[in-house]
Chain A
């Protein structure tokens, strides 16, 4: 049940199916899904789609034209190809950071919510502390100290973003653990571990799915922000690094800033639109 969304959607009836129907009715959600699909395909097929390789260097500052649709940058590399390769980086960072923070958040949140008492108190204090620390600056310090490889960045974002997930899961567990089906499972002699994973967790997932889409876009924005400040992985193409480089050449190459940022904006906007629509669709109250 902790499978991906499309699986639960293909079930003939039930909440997943209803949510999918509601989702299709919203124009903004359809737009979000269409753009996200393009983003996913671009990221996966990057080497096949990009008209130029990452190392192909030509004339610099060529404006958008037939040979270079979105122009070339200060080093003479093709902006469109860089955007396509950047999509891959953004997708990797977004998805893996979300998975990292979800694993930490779901584990800690369900333990806190299920067992309650001092365990809950202790875990919630840690969560509050994490939330009050200025995460962006903490990320800057960590990446500056430990290096800016892409996996470092994924880890940092994942470790900083879990408290929201933990709080959501905990709140769900607090209400769900008092329901009859949990009592029934307990009287059947199920272990705590099985009750948490098999009985409660599947029912606590809807808010986590919504939160997950928002965390992907949040992680993409954070990675590009770090790269924009000069903390990008020098070995991979990132939209943030492209915007960082564009900053110097504003007056002569507007296309260096305009297009990578537009791609970034469309990617985060469409993920947020999906998250918003999912929130409405999965929430039976509305």
Chain B
């Protein structure tokens, strides 16, 4: 099978998965106590005429399967409904905030991947040595940390106490910086949230790298590389790591939903104007269409991200493509 066929086959996989996510949401809303209209109007209530019009508009008088079909088509055409609070299209609200979240995720991910892989190799170099034990403990600590509490403690220590970093938002609005001053200000604001997320995600990547390095170092080609007289550094980084990274890529692909969840919690702590803040506000104003739209959007994002991981994996390891 050529790479192109592989990619196309994977692309076709998106639609059924997305339809499943939409179906789950549809049935949840219908199973929830009360009328689906309540979730559109909110707790404020509306007069009966408006309710009747909404019911007809939403097709609530139709059979359930017809309603589901219409809802799926509506979502697939990019209409995620309207926010109860601002009455703006949900998709617009999400897309407006998404770049800020993506910036945070990309930065922390790059950092934690580099650091995690390096520390993982370091731990795997001498299994069960004091260094390894210490690093293993550190990685367990890292993913036991409640991320929102970690963020709060970072704010208390480096924000309030030492006053080194700004504690809220993405930029200093009062100064109204532009150009490279703006970039510098943005970077300054990013330090604490990115550090929080990195500490949290580092542990998992470190642990995976260690486990997968330990499996690889026993293999013949690694022994051959040593026998050829290469230095430990060359063998570990050039020969072993390359193959050890494959399982790390897969599992990290599976962790993407967790990464977004972490980002959302950290954003809430740091008042970062991304999806996290949007979720938080939507929860507190019980903005159901926005929450449902968020779920569908993030499902879509996770599905696409997994697809990219699969394709990268296929590029790294040609064996996968022929299965």
Contacts and interface: CB of A to CB of B under 8 A. Distances in A.
Contacts of A51: none
A144 B295 contact: no
Nearest to B32: A145
B153 interface: yes
Contacts of B224: none
A225 B108 CA distance: 20
A250 interface: yes
A229 B156 CA distance: 19
Interface stretch (B49-57, B74-82, B172-180, B296-304): B296-304
Contact of B152 (A134, A224, A229, A261): A261
Give the residue among A28, A129, A261 with the most B Cβ atoms within 10 A. Answer: A261
Nearest to B156: A254
Contacts of B114: none
Contact of A273 (B140, B152, B299): B140
B280 A229 contact: yes
A247 B257 contact: no
Contacts of A230: 280, 283-284
B299 A265 contact: no
Interface string B20-37: 110011001100110000
B32 A146 contact: yes
A119 interface: no
Nearest to B254: A131
A99 interface: no
B302 A134 contact: yes
A26 to B, nearest CB: 10
A49 to B, nearest CB: 23
A132 B17 contact: yes
B21 A269 contact: no
Contacts of B141: 269
A243 B25 CA distance: 29
Nearest to A135: B257
Contacts of A268: 144, 146
A138 B302 CA distance: 13
A250 B257 contact: no
Interface in A101-141: 129, 131-138, 140-141
B148 A144 contact: no
Interface in B245-282: 254, 257-258, 260-261, 264-265, 268-269, 279-280
Interface centre among A129, A144, A243, A246 (most CB of B within 10 A): A144
Contacts of A250: 152, 155-156, 160
A137 B265 contact: no
A257 interface: yes
A254 B161 CA distance: 11
Nearest to B25: A141
A28 to B, nearest CB: 6
Main DSSP-derived SS at the A contact region: helix
Interface stretch (B98-106, B115-123, B286-294): B286-294
A75 interface: no
B291 A258 contact: no
B286 A144 contact: yes
Contacts of A39: none
B156 A258 contact: yes
B144 A134 contact: no
Interface string A223-246: 011001111000000000001001
B305 to A, nearest CB: 10
B265 A272 contact: no
Given A132-B303, A261-B153, A225 B291 contact: no
Contact of A224 (B146, B284, B302): B146
Contact of B264 (A135, A136, A272): A136
B253 to A, nearest CB: 10
B97 to A, nearest CB: 14
Contacts of A265: 144-146, 149
B295 A141 contact: yes
A197 interface: no
Contacts of A228: 148, 265, 268
A199 interface: no
B283 A269 contact: no
Closest 9 CB pairs of A and B: A261-B149, A136-B261, A269-B144, A145-B32, A134-B257, A268-B144, A137-B295, A257-B152, A134-B298
Interface of A: 28, 129, 131-138, 140-142, 144-147, 217, 221, 224-225, 228-231, 243, 246-247, 250-251, 254, 257-258, 260-262, 264-265, 268-269, 271-273, 276
12 contacts: A132-B303, A133-B257, A135-B261, A138-B24, A144-B291, A146-B33, A229-B283, A230-B280, A247-B268, A250-B156, A262-B149, A269-B141
